[in-house]
Amino acid sequence: MRSICTAARLTLLGGFELTCDGTPTEVPRTSQRLLAFLGLQRTATRGHAMATLWPDAGEQKAAGSLRTALWRTQQTAAPIVQAGGEILRLHDWVEVDTDELVRTAHGIREPAVPFRSHELLPGWYDEWVLVERERLRQLYLRSLERVARAELAARRHGSAVEATLVAVRAEPLRESPYRLLMEIHLAEGNYSETLATYRRYRQLLASELGVRPSPEMHKILRLLPSA
């Protein structure tokens, strides 16, 4: 008799993995795609799943592929999909690793430095995966900036700088983490580092894009004390 899974975790960042009560569960590739889709959507109609996962198949073939994927999913050690009627969803007791990132980015949970920057489902090139990958990348950057601002407000300047530099490394041309880094240096009284950060970003923009920093960045620069 198959054991009942009481706690499941679906990992999508850095690669697909499904664990049942802490033990990795083997999932067929076709079912992986369905579980990943539902992990990101949480709830979807059968029609939406068919159109997204099998966009080039006819309706009848796509419906057959969905039925097969569902059946194979339910045969694993962790049958985590509710498939009653037209609606498909994961059971409430399934934890998905991307949820924590979303909650942090939207301020639903207390921030903690999210240094893990694994890409969503690397090696997957479905259109829906590419869209979700970019969405989560943006959320990751916003999470880092939110963490840094919380640390700055608490006067924990070291961890604020650390989170900001992670954001800079993740997206070197993004201006907002550079502005935040300037604010942190100002709060510490490190005026030379404030100016150096501005000059470094200005040079980077000029060489890569041929543009100048925004007026918002200049406003921070004007907060430097006069000689």
CA 29-32-38 angle, to 5 degrees, is 155
Q: What is the mean pLDDT of residues 13-22?
A: 93
Tell me the CA distances in angstroms from 41 to 87, 173, 184, one per residue in order.
12, 30, 37
User: What was the pLDDT predicted at 114?
Assistant: 53
The token pair that represents 24 in the structure block: 């990795």
Q: What is the mean pLDDT of residues 125-138?
A: 95
Q: What is the mean pLDDT of residues 54-79?
A: 91
Order of strands across the sheet that contains 81-82: 43-45, 87-90, 81-82
User: What was the pLDDT predicted at 1?
Assistant: 42
User: What was the pLDDT predicted at 111?
Assistant: 53
Q: What is the mean pLDDT of residues 5-34?
A: 92
Helical (H) or strand (E) element with 43: strand 43-45
Confidence of residue 187 (pLDDT cuts 50, 70, 90): very high
For the chain, domain boundaries: 8-97
The number of C-alpha atoms within 13 Å of 174 and in the hemisphere containing its C-beta is: 19
User: What was the pLDDT predicted at 6?
Assistant: 81
Helical (H) or strand (E) element with 87: strand 87-90
Tell me the whole-structure pTM to 2 decimals. 0.84
The percentage of the chain sitting over the pLDDT mark of 70, rounded to a whole number, equals 93
User: What was the pLDDT predicted at 118?
Assistant: 75
User: What was the pLDDT predicted at 148?
Assistant: 93
* pLDDT of 64 strictly over 70: yes
CA-closest candidate to residue 219, choices 194, 190, 188, 196? 194
The angle that helices 175-188 and 157-170 make with each other, rounded to 10 degrees, is 160
Torsion, CA 166, CA 172, CA 175, CA 177, rounded to 10 = 10
User: What was the pLDDT predicted at 26?
Assistant: 92
- The per-residue pLDDT of the chain, averaged, comes to 91
The three state secondary structure string of 110-176 is: CCCCCCCCCCECCCCCCHHHHHHHHHHHHHHHHHHHHHHHHHHHCCCHHHHHHHHHHHHHHCCCCHH
Q: Go through the chain and tell me how many residues it has.
A: 227
* pLDDT of 224 strictly over 50: yes
Confidence of residue 227 (pLDDT cuts 50, 70, 90): very low
Fold of domain 8-97? Arc Repressor Mutant, subunit A (1.10.10)
Beta bridge partners of 24: 19
Pairing verdict, β 94-96 and 8-11: parallel
User: What was the pLDDT predicted at 104?
Assistant: 75
Helical (H) or strand (E) element with 94: strand 94-96
User: What was the pLDDT predicted at 76?
Assistant: 81
Q: pLDDT digits over 79-128, tens only?
A: 899 998 899 999 989 999 999 888 877 765 555 555 555 789 999 999 99
